[in-house]
Amino acid sequence: MSKDRTVWNVARGLLAVTFLSAMLGCSTESKTADTAPGAASAPSVKKIPAGQEFSGFLKNYEQLKPNEALGGNALTYAGTEARKNLRSYFAIVVDPIEVYVATDTDASKVDEDARATLSNYFHHALLEAVSDAFPPVDKPGPLTLRLRAALVGVDVGGQVAAGDAPPDATPLKQAMNIGKVQVEMELVDSMTGERIAAMVDRSNLGAGAEVGAKDFTRVEKFAAAREAFDEWASRVREFLDSAHELTGADAERADKSYQPYQ
Amino acid sequence: MRRLLSIVCIFLLICVTCLGAEEVTTFHAYIDSDLCARLMLGPITQSRIECSLKTYKEGSNAVVVSLTDNTVFSVNKEKLLKENVGKIAAVTGEAKVKSGTMKLQSVMPQEINDIPQGDPARKLLDVRNYQVKGSAEIHEKVRHELAMIPYITEFDFISFTLVEDTVILTGWTVRATNRSDAAYRAKKVPGVRQVINNIEELPLGGTDMEIRANVRAKLQRVLSQYFWSNGSDIKIIVKNGNIILLGTVISQPDSDAASIQAKTVPLAFHVFNLLRVVPPAKKDKG
């Protein structure tokens, strides 16, 4: 009897540990998804003004120049002023991603779920792409950049058919077409708001791609959209990498300056 | 029913044990301070021992350095190391090489003679292994590769030593990419067979971030000649409120000025000034 009770107690203990571990695991996972800075409170849909090349999301576009290293489809700017350039910062806060629909899009067909789906996934993709070089933090502070970004030119896609997504993938009311999307991005000093770098990526990576479910990354039909978002994010990282590359006199001085301790 | 439950429980217990447990190992180690372990790689000389004792006393954490391969382990029970800093010991515990952490179980003080002749741990005690002729070219290539890491800033310092064909990387960085990039670059140098990565990724910490920004601002103001737009000769490592100054300056007054400035930064606990003073080479009159 007492042996059974001991076994029962051990079992209860183990179940409790297992349950707690599972809860801890779940809470950690949901924390990652929900507390990504700003991910839950993304702003509403905006529209590209008629006849404009850019959305107006960035404060100015004059500083941007074609970047051949990124294939010529990207316009970039990286400040070179001493102590106010990309190398002066190393942590990052990524703002919620704004979504701008194309000028002729019926904005009433873009519901909150659709906008949040695009916004949240690109937010996640950007964090994935930059976080080992710019560790993410949850609030502005010294040595911290704020990354603002927008998906510009989103259009309404086709109806989402019943079989387009598995039952647990929560289909959207209306698919979103990202075929003509471009990305506008800006890095500013998180405390002063001063611009440090910016980029407009006009690469047509989303051609033919639609997003038709909230958790679309698990659905094969929408794989092209996920790849496009990941690629845009990876090009942002490429831009940051190229801006950090040591060249000319800087490379010479860094080489001369560095001696290991022994 | 109870029997079934018992079987399930035993099964679960075995699974949990298998999944959770790390292998317990015992190895010969040198008990060092975190600071010296990451800077003074190499033989356990008198100056290394002095460094360990001094910096530990000043507040640097005690760590375990494996004599077999020089891997540095931060430990959970630092108290066990307290009496053994600057000494050789046999340490037992669960060591995780990838993260550089160890759950200590016991620490037994040892003498060098307790390590058998021919034991791999002996190799790293022998000063001759650090003066291998013919490796100067590899050393220079590794040094150059590490100097060119693009994301290195004034808040990172990576050092290394070359033991035969093994590169032991060490130091501190605020970016994960620097840690992996350093290992990748060292590994691709022809002639390097193995890379041991002891580079510690520093937690950002709100207070540490403020300290970093403040120290940099103060040093840039007073010692601006050591800072340029994309780098610096002076490195500022901040860990849990402690400031470590590294790099090179050309005079003792500059080194002292750096210390004085760093000490005025609010919220900082201690300043370890390890700046090297290297006067500029005199030019030949001819």
Would you put residue A83 in left (φ > 0), alpha (ψ -120 to 50) or beta? left
Q: How many other CB atoms are there within 10 angstroms of residue A105's CB atom? A: 19
Strands A98-101 and A46-47: parallel
Looking at residue A12, its pLDDT comes to 55
- Is the pLDDT confidence value at A18 over 50? no
Average pLDDT over residues A56-85: 89
Per DSSP, the residues of chain B read -HHHHHHHHHHHHHHHHHHHPPPEEEEEEEEEEHHHHHH--S---HHHHHHHHHHHHTTPPEEEEETTT--EEEES-GGGTGGGTTSEEEEEEEEETTTTEEEEEEEEEE-GGGSPTT-HHHHTT-GGGG--TT-HHHHHHHHHHHHT-TT--TT-EEEEEEETTEEEEEEEES-HHHHHHHHHHHHTSTT--EEEEEEEEPP--HHHHHHHHHHHHHHHHH-GGGEETTEESEEEEEETTEEEEEEEESSHHHHHHHHHHHHTSTT--EEEE--EE-PPPPPP--
Looking at residue B98, its pLDDT comes to 79
Q: What is the pLDDT of residues A117-134, one digit of tens each?
A: 999 999 999 999 999 999
Which letter, b or e, does each residue of A31-40 get, where b requires 16 or more Cβ atoms within 10 Å of its Cβ?
eeeeebbbbe
Looking at residue B223, its pLDDT comes to 96
Specify the higher pLDDT residue, B231 or A165: B231
Residue A91: name the closest of B208, B150, B55, B13 by CA: B208
Looking at residue B68, its pLDDT comes to 84
Q: How many other CB atoms are there within 10 angstroms of residue B55's CB atom? A: 26
B141 and A CB contact within 8 Å? no
- Is the pLDDT confidence value at B224 over 70? yes
Q: Is A224 helix (H, G, I), strand (E, B) or coil?
A: helix
Looking at residue B126, its pLDDT comes to 67
Q: What is the pLDDT of residues B74-105, one digit of tens each?
A: 999 989 999 999 999 999 999 988 788 999 99
**Cα–Cα distance, B248 to B235 (Å, whole number):** 9
Write out chain B residues lying below 8 Å of A131, CB-based: 176
Q: Do the beta carbons of residue A39 and residue A33 sit within 8 Å?
A: yes
Give the single-character DSSP code of A136. Answer: B
Which letter, b or e, does each residue of A222-241 get, where b requires 16 or more Cβ atoms within 10 Å of its Cβ?
bebbbebbbbbbebbbbbbe
**B102 CA to chain A: closest CA distance, Å?**
22
Q: How many other CB atoms are there within 10 angstroms of residue A2's CB atom? A: 6
Looking at residue A104, its pLDDT comes to 87
Nearest CA in chain B to A258: B147
Average pLDDT over residues A44-58: 86
Looking at residue B285, its pLDDT comes to 52
- Tell me the C-alpha to C-alpha distance, in Å, between residue B194 and each of A74, B80, B149, B187, B231: 40, 31, 19, 7, 29
Average pLDDT over residues A42-48: 73
B172 and A CB contact within 8 Å? no
B277 and A CB contact within 8 Å? no
Tokens of A169: 């993938």
Q: What share of chain A has pLDDT > 70, as a percent? A: 82
Looking at residue A8, its pLDDT comes to 52
**Is A83 in Cβ contact with B220 (below 8 Å)?**
yes
Looking at residue B286, its pLDDT comes to 45
**Is A10 in Cβ contact with B9 (below 8 Å)?**
yes
Q: What is the pLDDT of residues B109-123, one digit of tens each?
A: 998 888 888 888 877
pTM, rounded to two decimals: 0.79
- Is the pLDDT confidence value at A4 over 90? no
**A8 CA to chain B: closest CA distance, Å?**
7
Write out chain A residues lying below 8 Å of B160, CB-based: 260
Looking at residue B273, its pLDDT comes to 93
Q: Which amino acid is at A77?
A: Y
Helix (H) or strand (E) holding A31: helix A2-34
Looking at residue B231, its pLDDT comes to 86
Q: Do the beta carbons of residue B208 and residue B241 sit within 8 Å?
A: yes
CB-based contacts of A169, cutoff 8 Å, min separation 6? A213, A214, A215, A216, A218, A219
**Cα–Cα distance, A109 to A97 (Å, whole number):** 19
Q: What is the pLDDT of residues B12-69, one digit of tens each?
A: 545 444 444 568 999 999 999 998 888 866 678 888 888 899 899 988 899 999 988 8
- Is the pLDDT confidence value at A2 over 50? no
Q: What is the pLDDT of residues A203-224, one digit of tens each?
A: 888 888 888 888 888 888 888 9
Q: What is the pLDDT of residues B252-262, one digit of tens each?
A: 999 999 999 99
Long-range (24+ apart) CB contacts under 8 A made by B2-6 are B2/A4, B2/A7, B2/A8, B5/A7, B5/A8, B5/A11, B6/A4, B6/A7, B6/A11
To probe the interface with A, which of B163, B229, B248, B275 has the most A CB atoms within 10 Å? B229
Q: What is the pLDDT of residues B148-200, one digit of tens each?
A: 999 999 999 999 988 888 898 999 999 999 999 999 999 999 999 999 999 99
* Residue B10 confidence class, pLDDT cut points 50, 70, 90: low
Q: What is the pLDDT of residues A99-112, one digit of tens each?
A: 999 998 888 888 88
